[in-house]
Amino acid sequence: MFNQVRIAGTIEDEIDLRRREDGFETARVNLRFSQAQGPILLFCVGANTRRLAKFKRGDVVKIFGRLTVSRSGACSLLVDEAHFLDPEKEWPERSAHDLGAAMHRFATHANVVGVKR
């Protein structure tokens, strides 16, 4: 499948949940995946909004989705799956001094597959 994105990072804000009068829901939040780069916007629409609603600011998560680019050139991710990231299981080398390095390594190697321009 083209345009599959897998990325991990920290939820930066509270989740912005919105519901229109017709019942259609959206959710959006910024994900910090690298200290050197700005955050990326995550968003869900319709029934998928609950995928983001379970998180709170500071949660470390892994996201699976699709890259989207607005007319202005801003990138964001349309979320298909979202899970809590368990550093104990996913980073067995974790210790107090290398958790930041492991997070950076995981974020730096975020996998973007088959993005067409």
Domains and CATH numbers, the chain: 4-112 (2.40.50.140)
- Within 13 Å and on the Cβ side, how many CA atoms surround 47? 0
Mean pLDDT of the 95-107 span:
49
What CA–CA distance (Å, rounded) separates 86 from 84?
Answer: 6
For the chain, give the percent of residues with pLDDT over 70.
73
Which pLDDT tens digit goes with each residue over 57-100? 999 999 999 999 888 988 899 999 999 987 666 654 444 434 45
Q: What is the pTM of this model?
A: 0.70
Look at residues 76, 84, 42 and name the one whose alpha carbon lies nearest to residue 59. 84
How far, in Å, are 2, 5, 52, 94 from residue 19 at the CA level? Answer: 30, 26, 14, 40
